[in-house]
Each structure stands twice: as C-alpha cells, then as structure tokens.
Amino acid sequence: MNRSNVTYMKISEKTGLSVSTVSRALKQPHLVKHATLKIIYRAIEELGGTLPDAVAPMTHDMRILAIVPVFNNPFYTDIVLGIQDAANQNGCQLLIVNETLSKFNIHQIINFISQSNISGVVIMQKLEIDVLDQLKLRTPLVQCSEFNEVNDISYITIDNLEATRKMLRYILNAGRKQIALVNSDPARYTYAKLRLQGYCETLEQAGITVNPLHIVTVPDGNFSTAVSAISALLKTASPPDAIFCASDIMAAAALRACALEGFRVPQDIMVAGFDNIDISVMTTPNITTINQPRHDMGFMACTQLLSMIADPTKLPQRFILDTELIIRESTDF
C-alpha cells in the first residue's frame, strides 16, 4: 500500500479497528480473520491508497483445513492428496477432519478454525445456505467437487453433463439401446442430478425413450446395497444390455451382480463407471470409466485458497476441469 497518504491511524479511524489490528492485517494477514481483512482492504481503497500487490509470503506455520465428508471414500482421499501437495509446496501444514457439515456441528468447526489459527478451508460438500453463510464469514473457503450455486464462492469441479454425454454416446455407438442408469440420490448430490440429466438428454437425442424401470437409485452409493438393487434389475423381464453407474464402486457392484445372475460382461451387458478410482483397475473385467482429475482438483482448490488468503479482495473464481473417457474390458471386446 501507499503508506505516504494512508496511515494505519487513518484506516483505524475509518474502520473502527485498533491500530494494532490494522498493522497486523498488513504485515501478517494470515493471522487476521478474513472478514476483518476485507474491511481493512476496502477502507484502504476508499481512502485512495493502493493495496499490497505482492502475494504475502507464506509462513511455515500457516495451516489449511480440509473437511472430508466421507473419510473412507477413496474419491475424497485422492482429492486430499492433491490439496496436501499444494499446501506443502507452499510451506503450509494441512489438517484434515472427517465431518459432514451441518447446523449441528458448524459452531464446533468455526470454534476450531478460530482457536487453531486456520488460514483457510477446503470443503467437498454442498452446504445448507445458512451453514455456508456462517462458514464463509469466518474463513476463506473453496468448494471442491460438490458446490453451492451461489455467486460469492470459489469452486473447482468437473463438467458432469458433458462427461455423462460422452459416456452415453460411446455406449450408444457400441450398439447398446437398453442402457440402465445406477445413480446416487439426485435430490442430495448435484453431481447425481447432472448425471441423471445427461443420461436422459443423451438417450432422448438418440431417439430412445427413457425407461423409468432402468433408473436405479442407490442413495448412499454403498456397494452391497448396489449389488442387491442391480441384481433385482437383472431379474426383471427386460434386463438392460448396458449399465452406466455414477461411481466405480457401483460399477464394481454391477460386475458382481452380473456374475451372480449369470450375465457375461461385456458380451451380455456392458458396464461403465465414473471416477477412475483404484477399484476400476482391480476387477476382472476392469472397468470403463470417466477419469475425474481428483489430484488436480484438490491441488487447484488449495492453490485458489492460498491466493484468496494472500489477497482477500480477490473475486470468486470457478474452475471446470476436463474429464476423460477411459475404455477398459467391461465395455470392450
């Protein structure tokens, strides 16, 4: 900032904050609450000063928090490894907690953030709006994978619609017409809503009427539940000739259900997944899937967060990352 005309005292008078808080905000911004920094930076601009233009140097004590909603889901652990790599490259410590945020635990988390000198937070879930409002007031925040469709939050995600269309067009081109969808709960997860939409749109564009009996919802995406639900589908009078699953876990369940019910994959039924987590290469046949760049998503989420910490006036940014169709044995013969 231009200290010749905008003194700490002037900023203090304008904001009502103490001179020592103003001083700390400009010298050690990572020690000061995000909302306070915003107030100070706005005051500097209104007083005609210039903001610090260099990124504040990171200290080795800076701490980033990743809040993981389902700790033993490998999809999230791979994102966390990306966050960790970006944090470590910038000399930050990454802390991880295993919590699904809600109005019941948000105060505990906010207390923890302030007591533990947490500089910023990456979350991997969509929040209730009032929970999101409370959290974003207290800390710089980036959403990764799942996100809220509001204007003032940065997030990193993938194009779920386009990824789903890509997979469905591939299966249609392979000659399959009776394509089932095994999905998580579209009312709860944005990704599930978009994959359902992409499934319906692509079939309709191909002139195929969506068969409601071929849409199976496994609310929590659990393997055993999915095996039961898909086995039931395979026992009906009109089993599908392909199954597109909204996760690799559910695709592994589809392979298992096909084996139990005596269908050959891919000859009788093609099976495809989503995510490209480790399980997709461990089964036989291994699983055709959509690669989500999980490490990159985590890395970019943390990088974005660090730039927001360094410059609290930074506007929210959204990053929609590319996905890839990976063809393996479960659809290819």
Q: What are residue 134's phi and psi, to 5 degrees?
A: -65, -45
Specify the residue, 80 or 242, whose C-beta has the smaller distance to its own copies: 80
Specify the residue, 65 or 194, whose C-beta has the smaller distance to its own copies: 65
Report the C-alpha gap between 125 and 66 in whole angstroms.
Answer: 11
- The least distance separating its own copies from the CB of residue 72, rounded to whole angstroms, comes to 4
Specify the residue, 6 or 254, whose C-beta has the smaller distance to its own copies: 254
**Interface positions with its own copies (CB under 8 A):** 60-61, 71-72, 74, 77-78, 80-81, 84, 93-98, 108, 111-112, 115-117, 223-224, 249, 252-253, 255-256, 259, 278-279, 281-284, 286
Which residues are CB-neighbours of 47 under 8 A, at least 6 positions away?
Answer: 5, 6, 10, 11, 14
- The least distance separating its own copies from the CB of residue 252, rounded to whole angstroms, comes to 5
Q: Under a CB-based contact definition with an 8 Å cutoff, are residues 113 and 138 in contact?
A: yes
- The least distance separating its own copies from the CB of residue 84, rounded to whole angstroms, comes to 6
The DSSP code sequence of 122-149 is: EE-S---HHHHHHHHHHS-EEEESS---
126-129: long-range contacts (C-beta < 8 A, 24 or more apart)?
Answer: 126/189, 126/190, 127/101, 128/102, 128/103
- The least distance separating its own copies from the CB of residue 165, rounded to whole angstroms, comes to 28
Specify the residue, 27 or 264, whose C-beta has the smaller distance to its own copies: 264
Terminal C-alpha separation, the chain: 64
- The least distance separating its own copies from the CB of residue 80, rounded to whole angstroms, comes to 6
- The least distance separating its own copies from the CB of residue 287, rounded to whole angstroms, comes to 11
- The least distance separating its own copies from the CB of residue 152, rounded to whole angstroms, comes to 28
- The least distance separating its own copies from the CB of residue 88, rounded to whole angstroms, comes to 10
Specify the residue, 195 or 294, whose C-beta has the smaller distance to its own copies: 294
Measuring CA to CA, how many Å separate 22 from each of 36, 41, 125? Answer: 9, 10, 34
Specify the residue, 45 or 261, whose C-beta has the smaller distance to its own copies: 261
Specify the residue, 112 or 319, whose C-beta has the smaller distance to its own copies: 112
Measuring CA to CA, how many Å separate 59 from each of 27, 33, 53? Answer: 12, 16, 18
Specify the residue, 170 or 223, whose C-beta has the smaller distance to its own copies: 223
Say if residue 285 is preceded by a cis peptide, omega within 30 of 0.
yes
Q: How is residue 80 written in tokens?
A: 């966390």
57 phi-psi bin (left φ>0, alpha ψ -120 to 50, beta other): beta
Q: In this structure, are strands 242-245 and 270-272 parallel, antiparallel, or unpaired?
A: parallel
> 181: closest CA among 151, 212, 158, 208?
212
